[in-house]
A = this chain, B = another copy of it.
Amino acid sequence: MEVNEKQKELIERIGVFYERKGMQPLVGKIIGLLLVHEQAEAAFDEIIETLGVSKSAVSNALTFLQAKNYVIYTSKLGERKRYFTLKSTDWKADFEQELEHIADIQRFLEEVLAIRPGETQEFNDRLRDFCDFLEFFRNEIPSLFERFKNQRG
């Protein structure tokens, strides 16, 4: 696929976004490419050409993306090529899971609170308050999803 300037820019930006989330650069760019791709799917060699990278790099990145359940491939009848596409079946589910990392923070902050001495009262109180908020927030998530569903019924 020929990518125009706007598409290039988006791939770049999306790439940087995912890179900052800890993924390796090429992985982010592939996500970007699959998002802007006109067919919403790309063949192995197409990725290589469009992004100008090596086979090995693409192979490894795709293995990672598939392991993480971000990407799947489909094959067309009579063709041996694989067409890679974003497993978009439920981005909201991914998002919900992403929010779960809040639970991690809460968990270790609770442990911190449990072992803190009473001397630093103000600090402890603020920490307590924040923990409570995280708890509250976490509990609100399901109903948030619920409300979104209803609101558009």
Contacts and interface: CB of A to CB of B under 8 A. Distances in A.
Nearest to A105: B17
Interface string A56-85: 000000000000000000000000000000
Contacts of A36: 112, 115-116
Interface of A: 6-7, 10, 13-14, 17, 20-22, 35-36, 38-40, 88-89, 91-92, 95, 104-105, 108-109, 111-112, 115-117, 119-120, 123, 126-127, 129-130, 132-134, 136-137, 140, 144, 147-148, 151-152
27 contacts: A7-B115, A10-B111, A10-B112, A14-B108, A17-B105, A20-B22, A22-B22, A35-B109, A35-B112, A35-B127, A36-B115, A36-B116, A38-B116, A38-B117, A38-B119, A40-B116, A40-B123, A88-B126, A91-B130, A92-B129, A95-B130, A95-B133, A132-B152, A136-B147, A136-B151, A137-B148, A144-B144
